Structure 1
Amino acid sequence: MNRQNAFEVADDLPELLRDAGMTLEQLSDVVQRCQAVQDDNYTAEDYDVFQIAGRACIEEGESAHVLSIVVDEGNKNIVRCMGWNLLGPLVKILLKEEDKSLTHCLAILTHLLEVCSPKELLIGLLEQVEEAHQDAIAETVILLLQPLQKVLMRLGSRKASSVGMALSSLLGQVARLPVPETKEQEEDDVFCLCRCCSALLVFVRPFAEEARQSRLAGFTDGSPSPEEEELRLELLKFCMKSLCEPLLEVQLKDPETLEDSPLRNFATEIVGILSGIGESLSDLLCHGLLNRREVSGFLEEEVCYPKESLASLAYLLFVHHIAIDNFPTVFSPVFVLQCNMEHINLFLSRTEDCRIRKGLDLYEKSLVRVLDNSLPVQLLELKSFFSVPQNLVKVMTMCPVHHLRTKGLKVLQLSIDKFDTEAKYKFFRCMLKTSHHAGVEGYIIKNIKNQIDLALKVKGNKWFLGVHLLPLLHQALCLSQGPETDLLQNLDRVMESLNLLRYLLLRDKEQENQTGIWTELCKIEENYMKPLRMGVNMSRAHYEAELSSTQENSKKAKAKESEIQESVCSVTVGNEKMPNMTPEMQLQVLHSALHTFDMIESVLARIEEIIEAKGKP
Structure 2
Amino acid sequence: MEPAIEANAAAANLLRLIKQLLLEKAYDGVRMLFQSPNEASRNIQHMPLIAMDIYNDICVVNLVDEVNGREPELFDCANELLKLLAEHAPVQEMMMELMEKIEESRSHAVFAAYLRALQVILVRQGQDKPQAVMWCLQSVFTRLKDLPLPEYLSEGYDEAAGRLVEQDKQVEDLLAHYITVGLFEAPLLVDILQRDPRPDPHIFRHSTMSRRNALTCFLVQLLGKPLALLEMSYVKDDLTHTYVHQVVKNLTQEVTKSMGGDPFYLLALVEKRARWERKLNAAKGVYEMTGQNVFLIEDMMPLHAMAMYYHALFVRDLLPPTTPKIYSPLFLFESSLYLVVELLRQPEPPLQHCGLRLLEHVLINRGGASVPHFSLQLDVHKRFCDELCKIVGYSPQVGLRQLGLHVLRHYILAFDDQGKCLILKNLLETLQHDGLMGYLSAMFKDLVDKALMAHIRSGVAMPSEFRGKHFREMLMLCVCVLPNDVKSDLLLHADRICNAINILRYFALSDRRNVTGFWDILPEIEKRLLVPLGTALDFSMAHYKAYKERVENGQSASDDALMKKQLQMLAVNITNSGIAGEGDSSLPDIGRQEKLDVLTSSITSLEWLLSIYVRANEVIEQTARQRKLLQDAGPVLTPAPATEPV
Post-superposition offset of 1:453: 2.1
Deviations 1:95-134 (CA, angstroms, capped at 9, x unpaired):
336356446545654554355323332222322222223x
Post-superposition offset of 1:399: 0.9
Whole-angstrom distance in 1 between the partners of 2:325 and 2:76: 55
Give the SS at the match of 2:324. Answer: coil
Deviations 1:294-331 (CA, angstroms, capped at 9, x unpaired):
66375954444431122111211111111343433333
Specify the alignment match of 2:599 in structure 1. Answer: 590
Deviations 1:4-47 (CA, angstroms, capped at 9, x unpaired):
xxxxxxxxxxxxxxxxxxxxxxxxxxxxxxx989999xxxxxxx
Q: Single out whichever of 429-438 and 539-548 deviates more from structure 2.
A: 539-548
Deviations 1:428-457 (CA, angstroms, capped at 9, x unpaired):
211111121111111111122222222322
Alignment of 1:268-283 (within 5 A): 268-278=249-259, 280-283=262-265
Q: Match of 1:235, as an amino acid?
A: L
Q: Is the 8 A contact 1:421 1:463 kept in 2?
A: yes
Specify the alignment match of 1:88 in structure 2. Answer: 60
Deviations 1:375-421 (CA, angstroms, capped at 9, x unpaired):
22212222122222222221111111112111222222222322222
Post-superposition offset of 1:83: 3.8
Whole-angstrom distance in 1 between the partners of 2:200 and 2:528: 72
CA gap of 1:374–1:75, structure 2 versus 1, over 3 A, is closer
Specify the alignment match of 2:635 in structure 1. Answer: none
Deviations 1:164-201 (CA, angstroms, capped at 9, x unpaired):
22222122212333389744553787622333222212
Specify the alignment match of 1:579 in structure 2. Answer: 587
CA gap of 1:403–1:75, structure 2 versus 1, over 3 A, is closer
Q: Is the 8 A contact 1:285 1:339 kept in 2?
A: yes
Specify the alignment match of 1:416 in structure 2. Answer: 412
Q: Match of 1:513, as an amino acid?
A: N
Whole-angstrom distance in 1 between the partners of 2:596 and 2:304: 51
Specify the alignment match of 2:379 in structure 1. Answer: 383
Q: Match of 1:124, as an amino acid?
A: E
% identical aligned pairs: 23
Name which of 199, 205, 211 aligns with 1:231.
Answer: 211
Specify the alignment match of 1:6 in structure 2. Answer: none
Specify the alignment match of 1:21 in structure 2. Answer: none
Q: Single out whichever of 153-162 and 424-433 deviates more from structure 2.
A: 153-162
Specify the alignment match of 2:514 in structure 1. Answer: 513
> Is 1:262 equivalent to 2:243 in the alignment?
yes
Give the SS at the match of 1:379. Answer: helix
Specify the alignment match of 2:496 in structure 1. Answer: 493
Alignment of 1:18-417 (within 5 A): 79-80=50-51, 82-86=53-57, 87-92=59-64, 95-96=68-69, 98-99=71-72, 101-102=74-75, 105-106=78-79, 108-109=81-82, 112-133=85-106, 136=107, 138-158=108-128, 160-177=130-147, 178=149, 182-186=162-166, 191-214=172-195, 230-251=210-231, 253=234, 257=238, 259-278=240-259, 280-289=262-271, 296=292, 298=294, 301-370=297-366, 374-417=370-413
CA gap of 1:201–1:488, structure 2 versus 1, over 3 A, is same
Give the SS at the match of 1:248. Answer: helix
Whole-angstrom distance in 2 between the partners of 1:361 and 1:597: 40
Whole-angstrom distance in 2 between the partners of 1:297 and 1:382: 24
Listed as ranges, the gaps of 5+ residues in structure 1 are 1-34, 41-50, 557-567
Q: Is the 8 A contact 2:7 2:46 kept in 1?
A: no
Q: Is the 8 A contact 2:270 2:339 kept in 1?
A: no
Alignment of 1:443-482 (within 5 A): 443-457=439-453, 458=455, 459-460=460-461, 461-478=463-480, 479-482=482-485
Q: Is the 8 A contact 1:376 1:419 kept in 2?
A: yes
Whole-angstrom distance in 2 between the partners of 1:397 and 1:578: 24
CA gap of 1:207–1:274, structure 2 versus 1, over 3 A, is same
State which structure, 1 or 2, has the greater radius of gyration over its C-alpha atoms: 1
CA gap of 1:295–1:371, structure 2 versus 1, over 3 A, is same
Q: Is the 8 A contact 2:192 2:212 kept in 1?
A: yes
Give the SS at the match of 1:544. Answer: helix
Q: Is the 8 A contact 1:571 1:578 kept in 2?
A: no
Specify the alignment match of 1:563 in structure 2. Answer: none
Give the SS at the match of 1:321. Answer: coil
Whole-angstrom distance in 1 between the partners of 2:539 and 2:369: 44
CA gap of 1:335–1:463, structure 2 versus 1, over 3 A, is same
CA gap of 1:198–1:594, structure 2 versus 1, over 3 A, is same
Name the count of aligned residue pairs.
552
Post-superposition offset of 1:361: 0.8
Q: Is the 8 A contact 2:213 2:294 kept in 1?
A: no
Give the SS at the match of 2:525. Answer: helix
Q: Match of 1:507, as an amino acid?
A: S
Post-superposition offset of 1:608: 3.1
Give the SS at the match of 2:264. Answer: helix
Post-superposition offset of 1:238: 0.9
Q: Is the 8 A contact 2:144 2:174 kept in 1?
A: yes
Post-superposition offset of 1:215: 5.3
CA gap of 1:328–1:300, structure 2 versus 1, over 3 A, is closer
Whole-angstrom distance in 2 between the partners of 1:225 and 1:315: 25
Post-superposition offset of 1:156: 4.2
Q: Match of 1:244, as an amino acid?
A: G
CA gap of 1:349–1:551, structure 2 versus 1, over 3 A, is farther
Q: Match of 2:221, as an amino acid?
A: K
Deviations 1:31-65 (CA, angstroms, capped at 9, x unpaired):
xxxx989999xxxxxxxxxx9x999x89x957769
Q: Is the 8 A contact 2:507 2:518 kept in 1?
A: yes
Whole-angstrom distance in 2 between the partners of 1:598 and 1:373: 47
Whole-angstrom distance in 2 between the partners of 1:330 and 1:544: 69
Q: Single out whichever of 384-393 and 308-317 deviates more from structure 2.
A: 384-393
CA gap of 1:244–1:218, structure 2 versus 1, over 3 A, is closer
Q: Is the 8 A contact 2:8 2:49 kept in 1?
A: no
Higher relative contact order (CA 8 A, sep 6+): 2
Whole-angstrom distance in 1 between the partners of 2:587 and 2:603: 21
Listed as ranges, the gaps of 5+ residues in structure 2 are 10-14, 35-41, 154-160, 277-288, 558-563, 573-582, 630-646
Post-superposition offset of 1:520: 2.5
CA gap of 1:427–1:407, structure 2 versus 1, over 3 A, is same
Whole-angstrom distance in 2 between the partners of 1:594 and 1:118: 81
Q: Is the 8 A contact 1:214 1:224 kept in 2?
A: no
Whole-angstrom distance in 2 between the partners of 1:281 and 1:77: 42
Whole-angstrom distance in 2 between the partners of 1:256 and 1:374: 28
TM-score by length of 1: 0.78
Whole-angstrom distance in 1 between the partners of 2:270 and 2:236: 31
Q: Is the 8 A contact 1:371 1:418 kept in 2?
A: no
TM-score by length of 2: 0.74
Whole-angstrom distance in 1 between the partners of 2:241 and 2:247: 11
CA gap of 1:224–1:596, structure 2 versus 1, over 3 A, is closer
Whole-angstrom distance in 2 between the partners of 1:427 and 1:541: 40
> Is 1:483 equivalent to 2:491 in the alignment?
no
